[in-house]
Structure 1
Amino acid sequence: MNYSKEASDLDFAYKVRRALNEATENIPEPALDRLAQARKIALARKKTEAPASVLAFRGVLASAGGFAFKGPGSWMGKFGIALPLLVLVAGLIGIYEYEQQQNINELADIDTAVLVDELPPAAYIDTGFSAYLNKAEE
């Protein structure tokens, strides 16, 4: 809503209230008595206020304390904290195992290539080839 519209609405409400207050001074006495009687009847007919039951979860949003449902003491609150941590740990373990498997596969490919190829015996004596093999094993 526009600020100027809010200001004009508020200004209008003040003007209406002022006009009604000024007009109440000019109401005749019998009309005031009838208004008072009508007010008493309306208050007598007013229903008693029943407590409203509302289903609401405390702390559902992150901005409401950071814990789901009833806080850190409830089992749902603990589960809400533990589940993301378990998923994170499982993901990290999975990434580590995948990297290890990739490293093993690369070393196996090098070993297979070395064992299948017919290399001259001088290649095994060469220090550069030994360094290459040591680097591949790391």
Structure 2
Amino acid sequence: MNTKVPTSFNAAEDQFGQRLAARLSDGNQELSHDIGERLRVARAQAVAARKQAPQLRTAPEVAQSGHALTLGGGWWTRIGSVVPLIALVAGLITISVMQDDDRVSELAEVDSALLTGDLPPAAYTDPGFAQFLKADGASD
């Protein structure tokens, strides 16, 4: 793995650090001498700790090594992210159509049984007939 960080990245980081230090130093003019000195010492300690810490910059290393995967960069990636959504919608539509067909088939069977049966359809709305069916079903 390549551990060298590009110089342009270091230069940009150094410029940002210098601007930040200048901005912090400008704010010191309004503080008391004691607080300003404590802040100066804290900045010096932070810089010393930063210089001692190992430089872990994985993003530029991966990008520089050429082994990075670019998500969202190609047409195949975009198509690959849309295909599961299309499959899900198609599956839900298929389930809905199948359930509607089953429901229509069940209703058609009941209607045909009512119309071809021995009793007139008005008999099924009679409350006494409902009791008769319940009693007849219990005796079987």
* TM-score, reference length from structure 2: 0.39
Larger radius of gyration: 1
Higher relative contact order (Cα pairs below 8 Å, separated by 6+ residues): 2
